[in-house]
Structure 1
Amino acid sequence: MPDRPTTPLLDIVDTPQDLRRLKPEQLPQLAAELREEVISAVSVTGGHLGAGLGVVELTVALHYVFDTPRDTLIWDVGHQAYPHKILTGRRSRIRTLRQGGGLSGFTRRAESEYDPFGAAHSSTSISAALGFAVANRLAGEPGKAIAVIGDGAMSAGMAYEAMNNAQAAGNRLVVILNDNDMSIAPPVGALSAYLARLISSGPFISVRETLKKLARRMPRPLHQAARKADEFARGMATGGTLFEELGFYYVGPVDGHNLEQLLPVLENVRDEAHGPILVHVVTKKGKGYAPAEAAADKYHGVQKFDVVSGVQAKAPPGPPSYTAVFADALVGEAKRDPKICAITAAMPSGTGLDKFEKAFPDRCFDVGIAEQHAVTFAAGLAAQGFRPFCAIYSTFLQRAYDQVVHDVAIQNLPVRFALDRAGLVGADGATHAGSFDITYLASLPNFVVMAAADEAELTHMVHTAALHDAGPIALRYPRGNGTGVAIPAVPERLEIGRGRIVREGKKVAILSLGTRLEEARKAADQLDALGLSTTVADLRFAKPLDEALIRRLLTSHEVAVTIEEGSIGGLGAHVLTMASDQGLIDAGLKLRTLRLPDIFQDQDKPERQYAEAGLDADAIVKTVLSALRRNSVGVVGGARA
């Protein structure tokens, strides 16, 4: 464990109430100590670093000025909330971040009263804060609601949908636009700070409101001219006309690292606001830690690292990640086919499309945090004869489900969906687990749904998807590294709906979908050792099913077990439905389904998550023995029988 920083002021601050006892001139030192504590903690746990470093002063200022938790503070996404967690009674547990039984890497209602709303997906904060603000107004409660949202999250339509309805909150809603990348209007020193303080002050707001009332009594042409002049003058000075049109009073830009600027502006906003207000704060991601400031990604997400050098711990050498295999395979397909293009929703490196962009910049599109748009944009490309690959994390595609159904499936358009992070995701927990895509895609007419068992199969599936023009097709693959199998130099086009036998037996059949295949093989070894000859099949397709193969396995084996890294309603449900429709259940078949449990699993090491879910080799064996009403010493697991 590295030495912890010396933090005399932070040591006496456990809650925001303690913070508010400090003098304003003490806050810069507190912020410096808080920054050092964040760096120290994340060096031990890994996690999101750059975003939290960028909001240290803002976090201090918000908790100092507003009466949290009575005033609700809602962080968009929540990965920048590590400083917030430290100031709200969780410093003693901060080095358990993202670990089993530890603190979540995001905000979480069950964790603290200072986390009024859980968030790990982007662009939800304004909608949630509007709900809190209106609820306070209806209940006659005094609290305000403050949403902190990044400029990247403002690329999502949901943020503007919320802002369009913000008038319902009156003066109880405050939006902090944390501009830390593509600055909308960078601050210009003392003049900018003066303007922000001026236009947020009570006298200025009162004069402006009085003039607005007078203007309403003028003839309509003069009223409109006065309103436009006001918008033009303030827009020239601050750049906030867009937000004014959406019904917000705009203040900014403000230097988000200068507490002497932040405090008076936030105090004015707290005391003088006459309606919903937006404060434009400019910050620097990775602020205060030289390695983060110098890195291209500002140390957005890091492994454990050395604080002095910033060097991150390297994973031992091993197979390439599934993301990298997908990216290389897609680049290879695009070299052969000029109609292949790629779309991502603000995750070019996370999905591997940064490689595609380097090779084919004109055919790669990052649409921002706008999954709905990404899907319908892909549908438009497909309708014009192009072959779009829409690469989106499984959990994020949920945000565009209506577009998947209405714009793609109903029109039977050949959009290719590459679903990264399918299945459990370890430290990121329930909010990022790809638990539901088999269920929500395989239930749709016209869809083909594939799941790769290893790197070679993923390469074949990318090739298969590239050549599939008959309708929408999805391929799913997990987070992390592959199994180490050789990647084929020439990919194979798979027959749609055709699985494969990887091991032949007589008594037990394990029907696997996706990367649980390796555990199925281990379970077969254990079962064979017990005298239970076992077949292992890689079905490859959740839809359409290989009905001929499944029927043969179900009718020629005493016990059959399906296994998948997905929720109820997926492969197992489809196999059970097929067996029921074809009368196989009536023949006394012992068929069991293994799937993710009907809970949201917390973050933990992947192997522990799989054991908890009943998706490892021991769980398969236990399920088979239970179906046969047999026991074996040493067999353990939490599978459902």
Structure 2
Amino acid sequence: MTQPPKTPLLDQIHLPADLRRMDDSRMPQLADELRAEMIDAVSRTGGHLGAGLGVVELTLAIHKIFDTPNDRLIFDVGHQCYPHKILTGRRERIRTLRQEGGLSGFTRRAESEYDPFGAAHSSTSISSGLGMAVASQLSGTKRNVISVIGDGALSAGMAYEALNNAGALDARLIVILNDNDMSIAPPTGAMSAYLARMASGRAYMGIRERGKQLTSYLGRSFDRAITRAVEHARGYVTGGTLFEEMGFFHIGPIDGHNLEHLLPVLRNVRDHAEGPVLIHVVTQKGKGYPPAEEAADKYHGVSKFDVVTGTQAKAKPNAPSYTNVFAEALVQEAREDDKIVAVTAAMPAGTGLDTFDREFPERTFDVGIAEQHAVTFSAGLATEGYKPFAAIYSTFLQRAYDQVVHDVAIQNLPVRFAIDRAGYVGADGPTHAGSFDVTYLSTLPNFVVMAAADEAELKHMVRTAAAHDTGPIAFRYPRGEGVGCELPVRGEVLEIGKGRIVREGTKVAILSLGTRLADSLLAAEDLEAAGLSTTVADARFAKPLDRAMILKLARDHDVLVTVEEGSIGGFGSHVMQLLAEEGLLDGGLRMRSMVMPDHFVEQAKPEAMYAACGLDRKGIVDTVFKALGTDAGKISTGATKA
């Protein structure tokens, strides 16, 4: 491990107030030191690298010019917030990023007053910033609100909804468009910077305001028409016509790494601008670290790495990842059926659909960060006889719930939902945990909801979904590696609503949904050793339930425990509903439902999160003992029925 970098200027910065006392001429060196500090920190913890490196100068400039935290700085998504954390009193903890008990990998209100809004999902910064700006107006408080949003996040409809509303309200909101991927309008060097400074300066702002006052005497509609015409013409020069039409004063594009350009523009906007302003800056992901500059996609999110070589530490896999198994199974099915198409919302690599795209580029659709559109787009495909697989993380599918209900379920359209990152995901914490999909999908009529216990089951479920044409169907699977089981050459079509008995017993029944099956089998061994004959079943389906299997388990055993990687109200609740309807909870059956706790669980390794929540081998055993009103020491071999 390399030694931490020397950072004499950064060592003087404890809070943004210290930064504001520093002369502008020293800022480039400070930027170099901040970048080096971030690279060293992330090399030790892993995390999001490229985005943060791209906004070092921008972050410094914002904190230097604006009076944070009184002025509100909001980062969209939060992947780029590590430099911000270093500058806002969290440098001493920066090497705890994404670790258990450490700093979050995103902005978080509970962590610092400099994080006015928590983030982790995209396209929320303009809406939240507008709310803060309007609140300031209502309370008579004078403050700046700055929302920093990337061009990728600007692909989501919510961002445009907020822009439209902000322009109409004429609120004091500064939106900084961090264009770091596909430049909307590239900066043109010195002339672009000059025009940006002129457009944001006192002289132009004064002329603009006096012109608005003059035209206001001619009537509101005439005033607005002339003002829009002038701004529209200026937009052709600056590239901001779209934003001007939405009511924003547009500045840029400017070089987001040139502090000589950034600082005067931000000062002018702070001192002279009125109403909503959009500043377009162009940056480079991974700026200042050659490996990240050359491969922005590979260095967006990284594991621990060697700073000198850029080589990332990778644990040797024991089994293929669930994501890869899904992708390869889908490719296999698509070779047999040319109606299968794949849809992703800006996550082709994360969902494995980059594999599908390499073989079937014309049948692969990346719609951008637009989960709502992805679902309804898939519904449209389904109406025409195609078989769309919408591969979306569990936590991101939440963003499209109305479309799932209204556009898919009510119309009973056969959209296939491949739900990645089910259950706890580790370092990304509660914002990315797949906690609620079983609950929010199983309540919907017409839906089939499956959960894979291992990678072989996942192959079966991909084929089952491909063959299911009578309505919507979803299957969920976790992040990370499988259990290492033998994979079938091709998946089988499962009977809808049919589970399987994995282990036979007589006293205790453990009914697992999803990948808690491995821990359920281990718990059964412990229970058998304590004299409790134990059955283990894999439900496979949260909806429809295997009624016959569940009722038999309830009638033939003293204790029935359901185990799932989901929230209250999911699989276990549906099982209890069934048993209550059948009158089986009125007798001697001791029923327990094991679910995620009713609070958000903080970041840690997934196995530690499951252990802390009692959803591991030990937790299952303890639940059985408590149901019997005893403990392991009081249960002997051949114990009689309770």
Which range, TM-score by smaller chain? over 0.9
Displacement of 1:224 in angstroms is: 7.9
Encode CA deviations 1:430-454: one digit per residue, 9 max, x unaligned.
0000000000000000000000001
Q: Measure the CA separation in 1 of the matches of 2:73 and 2:599.
A: 28
- Displacement of 1:304: 0.2
Equivalent residue number for residue 313 of structure 1: 313
Change (3 A) 1:29 1:169: farther
Q: How far 1:316 sits from its partner (Å)?
A: 1.5
Per mean C-alpha deviation after superposition, the further-off stretch among 290-299 and 579-588 is 290-299
Matched letter for residue 519 of structure 1: D
Counterpart position of 1:16: 16
Residue identity matched to 1:329: A
Provide closer, same or farther for how the CA distance between residues 65 and 171 of structure 1 changes in structure 2, counting only shifts above 3 A: farther
Residue type at the aligned position of 2:327 = A
* Worse-superposed segment, 130-139 or 32-41: 130-139
1:135 and 1:168, CA in 2 relative to 1: closer, same or farther beyond 3 A? Answer: farther
Q: CA contact under 8 A between 2:232 and 2:244: conserved in structure 1?
A: no
Residue 341 of structure 1 corresponds to which residue in structure 2?
A: 341
Q: Distance in 2 between matches of 1:217 and 1:497?
A: 71
**What is the letter of the counterpart of residue 560 of structure 1?**
L
Question: What is the deviation of 1:169?
Answer: 5.8
**Cα 1:571–1:131 shift into 2, 3 Å:** same
- Corresponding residue for 2:251? 251
- Does residue 397 of structure 2 align to residue 397 of structure 1? yes
- Report if the CA contact (8 A) 1:133-1:169 is conserved: no
Check if 1:73 corresponds to 2:94: no
Specify the SS of the correspondent of 2:105.
coil
Aligned-residue offset at 1:228? 5.9
SS in 2 for 1:165: helix
- After TM superposition, the structure 1 = structure 2 runs for residues 135-284 of structure 1, keeping only pairs within 5 Å, are 135-167=135-167, 170=170, 172-217=172-217, 226-227=226-227, 229-284=229-284
Match of 1:48 in 2: 48
Asked if structure 2 preserves the Cα contact closer than 8 Å seen for 1:171 and 1:273, the reply is: no
**Corresponding position of 1:102:** 102
Supply the distance in 1 between the matched residues of 2:111 and 2:601 (Cα, whole angstroms). Answer: 15
The amino acid across from 1:623 in the alignment is T
Measured after TM superposition, the shift of residue 222 of structure 1 is 8.3
Deviation at 1:234, TM superposition (A): 1.2
Amino acid at match of 2:131: G
Aligned equivalent of 1:539: 539
Task: Give me the whole-angstrom Cα distance separating, in 1, the residues matched to 2:224 and 2:108.
Answer: 46
Indicate whether 1:323 and 2:308 are aligned.
no
Counterpart mapping for 1:449-598 below 5 A: 449-598=449-598
Who is 2:640 aligned against? Answer: none
Mean Cα deviation higher: 231-240 or 248-257: 231-240
Normalised by the length of structure 2, the TM-score is 0.97
How many pairs align?
635
Whether the aligned pair in 1 keeps the contact of 2:228 and 2:245 (CA below 8 Å) is no
Is the 1:322–1:480 contact (alpha carbons within 8 Å) kept by the matching residues of 2? yes
Instruction: Name the residue aligned to 1:638.
Output: none
C-alpha deviation, 1:506, in angstroms: 0.7
Deviation at 1:285, TM superposition (A): 0.4
TM-score normalised to structure 1 length: 0.97
Instruction: Give the letter aligned to residue 536 of structure 1.
Output: V
Look up the SS of the partner of 1:587 in the other structure. coil
The 1-side partners of 2:102 and 2:229 are apart by 54
State the 1:229 CA deviation: 4.7
The Cα offsets for residues 61-82 of structure 1, whole Å up to 9 and x where unpaired, read as 0000000000000000011000
- The answer to whether the 8 Å contact 2:170/2:247 transfers is no
Aligned residue for 1:278, secondary structure, equals: strand
What is the identity percentage for the equivalent residue pairs of Structure 1 and Structure 2?
69
Superposition map of 1:281-320 within 5 A? 281-297=281-297, 299-320=299-320
Structure 1 position 121, deviation (Å):
0.3
Distance 1:462 1:268 in 2: 56
1:24–1:495 Cα change, 3 Å:
same
What is the CA-CA distance between 1:315 and the residue it aligns to? Answer: 1.1
Displacement after TM superposition at 1:214 (Å): 3.4
Asked whether the 8 Å contact 1:70–1:143 carries over to 2, the reply is yes
Tell me the SS of whatever aligns to 1:427.
coil
Inter-CA distance 369–312: structure 2 relative to 1 (3 Å threshold): same
Instruction: State the secondary structure of the residue aligned to 1:191.
Output: helix
Question: Alignment partner of 1:509: what SS?
Answer: strand
Q: Which amino acid aligns with 1:46?
A: G
2:181 maps to a residue whose letter is D
Q: How far is the alpha carbon of 1:231 from its aligned partner?
A: 3.3
Distance 1:225 1:542, change over 3 A: closer
Does the Cα contact within 8 Å between 1:342 and 1:364 map onto a contact in 2? Answer: yes
| CA gap 1:72/1:78 in 2 versus in 1, 3 angstroms | same
Q: Which amino acid letter does the alignment assign opposite residue 209 of structure 2?
A: E
Secondary structure class of the residue paired with 2:14: coil
Shift of 1:314: 1.4
Partner letter of residue 352 of structure 1? G
Deviates further, 607-616 or 166-175: 166-175
Instruction: Give me the whole-angstrom Cα distance separating, in 1, the residues matched to 2:218 and 2:188.
Output: 36
In the superposition, relative to structure 1, how do residues 227 and 145 fare at CA in structure 2: closer, same or farther (>3 Å)?
Answer: closer
Amino acid corresponding to residue 142 of structure 2 in structure 1? P
Question: Contact 1:130 / 1:169 at 8 angstroms: preserved in 2?
Answer: no
Secondary structure, counterpart of 2:632 in structure 1? coil
